[in-house]
Structure 1
Amino acid sequence: MKLKIFTTMLTSFFLVLGCSNSNPKRDKFDTTLYDGRPIETLSTDVPPLSEKEAITRGDIALTNNNLDLALYEYIRSLSFEEARFQDKTLYNIGRIHQSRNNNLLAEKAYLMAVKSNPNHIPSLTKLGVEYSKSGSIELGESYLLRAVNADQARLSSQLRVNKDKKIDNKLIQALLVDNQSPEEALMALGVLADVREQHDLAQAWYSKALMVDGSSAKTLMNLGYSYYMSGDYTTAQRFTLASLEKQPENDKALNNLALIYLAKGEVRRGLSVFQQKMETPEALNNVGYILMIQGKPDKAIPYLQQAINMKPNYYKVANENLERALALVKEEKGEN
């Protein structure tokens, strides 16, 4: 009898042990990646049994705009020892934090994604864009180039872009792209080239980005502005109008179009564009100010005077601009 009881207990022990070993091993929940309401309020469900199940739960929560729950489930998916999608999950965690302007946690998640997969193109792109925006230009550019190079590797191209070596139009044009290529990284490299006044390079980067997404209003706008800065106003107008076809209410593109018209001497058209988004006195002041900084203070004066006449009691800005324009005209006459 005792032997039978012992055998039954021993069998039960091994059954329990077997069940315990069949569950995936998980580390503790990484609270350093979480920033939301108390975890205990999020879910009373049975814990996920696999990485895939946790990710699916996170995806559903994200679709329902339940960001705290999405974060919770995504972070839980990272704890599985055999996790295979950590780079993508960490990227999603970074995007959620970024949407909340929690840039430090977003950066941490993107860096962890790149540590998990050094060629994770979306995370490399986000790091490059955000570092560049924050003023860390060299660091940002290095991540953007890594994203481009990782994409070349994905496409089985032997080409690589290295900031320590010469980057020219020919190299950029030779890069392979498809509809999965990092359009945002290509566009951001164009912006950095424009900042350095390397407009030919910038236009090559933008053109390559348009090969990925030809309907990108932002890339079309940036390409138009690049041509404006390089003095090709006709081409600048064409791309800016193409951008406005995609986003007619884009204030920045409208402002760029007005700048282009003024640079071409089509002042009335520039004024008309400004009037689409502001009252006439402000539009007149803008025209006067831009003409002045374009080196045409004499042509600026009538528009500034009109702005003041329409708001005589309180339009301080136009008065200041008028004084400056008159002083510039006086200096020019003195030089002559």
Structure 2
Amino acid sequence: MNKLVLTALSVALLSGCASNNNTPKPFENALYDGRPVETLSSDAAPMTETEAIKRGDYALKNNNTDLALYEYLRSLDFPDTQYRDKTLYTVGRIHQSRGNRDLAEQAYLLALEANPNNIQVLEQLGSNYTKQGDTKQGESYFLRAINADQLRLASRNKLDTSNVSVEQLDKLSSDDKSPALAYMGLGILYDVKANHDVAKGFYRHALQIEPKSSKALMNMGYSYYMSGEYAPAKRYTQAALEQDSNNQRAQNNLALIYLAEGDAQRALNVFMRFMDAPEALNNVGYFLMLQGKPEDAIPFLQQAIDKKPSYYKVANENLERALLEVRANSSDSTRVKVQ
């Protein structure tokens, strides 16, 4: 009798455990910020990581980002996940598209815990930190992305993150899957440091990866402009405009190159392609002042005022500044003669 009671009790306990295991645990994930999950889907829970990811992909394709987040995050609950870093990268991109910067960063950093050499994640963090003004961290992640890419390509070469040189850059490998944004981002950062030779080395790789990138062509042109090499600066800038004729930054850069060469009329013609005459005239005058030529700037600023006297306050201010600079230069030269 006692044996029967014990057996019945054991069966009851086992069935109780089974029913507890079958009770789905409530969905909880700090990376989810959508509407209540109860409203998302009535489908049975996914059986595998891959199934959950496919559901997320389908939801994302249909612009249902709440459901996509839910499914992607559910895929992370399976043991021995194979695609954890890639899934977290996608989660980060969804948050970033929604303007949720903190959640995006959390997802990217978790992705790096799963795979420290995820090139896309490293490149994205480099871009994000740079845009936020944290150029030191941005540079670090960009460099890590490029070194991770060298591992992917089975290259023995990598960048010395403390001292990048043109020689190191020339030895790197790249293909059409390499992180063009990381190369271009580093080129811009090195141009800001006035290390234009290294900057050009980064842009060369960016252009090997994306030969028709108007941004890479424009930045290469600007780097040559900054180092005073106007012929190649013009060539790359014009190539950028061939790819994207509406690229106003490239048009602006081409005008600056013409001004640096002393061809103010051509610069004015370029500016007038995308702005009205008073603004174009003011721009020529303003940039001539920046180049230390206030006396050349004055006629252009006066024309800008003549064309729109009641409105063009900026041109008046620039003209006043140009006249002051001319007077100051005249006083300095008189002082030198007297001495």
TM-score, structure 2 normalization: 0.89
> Structure 1: which 5+ runs fail to align?
none
Amino acid at match of 2:179: P
Deviations 1:76-108 (A, max 9, x none): 111111211010011111111111222111111
Amino acid at match of 2:108: Y
Matches for 1:43-122 after TM superposition, within 5 Å: 43-122=41-120
**Other-structure match for 1:163:** 161
SS of 1:32 mapped into structure 2: coil
1: distance between equivalents of 2:87 and 2:24? 16
- 1:214 paired with 2:216, answer no
SS of 1:226 mapped into structure 2: helix
Alignment length, in residue pairs?
325
Shift of 1:191: 1.0
122, 145, 148: which one aligns with 1:147: 145
Shift of 1:31: 3.0
311, 316, 319: which one aligns with 1:314: 311
Matches for 1:194-205 after TM superposition, within 5 Å: 194-205=191-202
SS of 1:31 mapped into structure 2: coil
Identity of aligned residues (%): 54
SS of 1:93 mapped into structure 2: helix
- 1:300 paired with 2:301, answer no
**Other-structure match for 1:33:** 31
Deviations 1:255-310 (A, max 9, x none): 11111121122222211221122111111111110111111111111111011011
CA-based RMSD: 2.4
254, 277, 281: which one aligns with 1:280: 277
SS of 1:215 mapped into structure 2: coil
Amino acid at match of 1:266: D
Deviations 1:210-241 (A, max 9, x none): 11111111111111111111111111111111
C-alpha distance 29-86 of structure 1, shift in aligned 2 (>3 A): farther
> Structure 2: which 5+ runs fail to align?
334-339
SS of 2:30 mapped into structure 1: helix
SS of 1:334 mapped into structure 2: helix
Is the contact between residue 227 and residue 233 of structure 1 (CA under 8 Å) also seen in structure 2? Answer: yes
**Other-structure match for 1:251:** 248
C-alpha distance 262-29 of structure 1, shift in aligned 2 (>3 A): farther
2: distance between equivalents of 1:243 and 1:335? 42
Deviations 1:32-72 (A, max 9, x none): 21223332222222221111111111111222222222212
**Other-structure match for 1:323:** 320
**Other-structure match for 2:336:** none
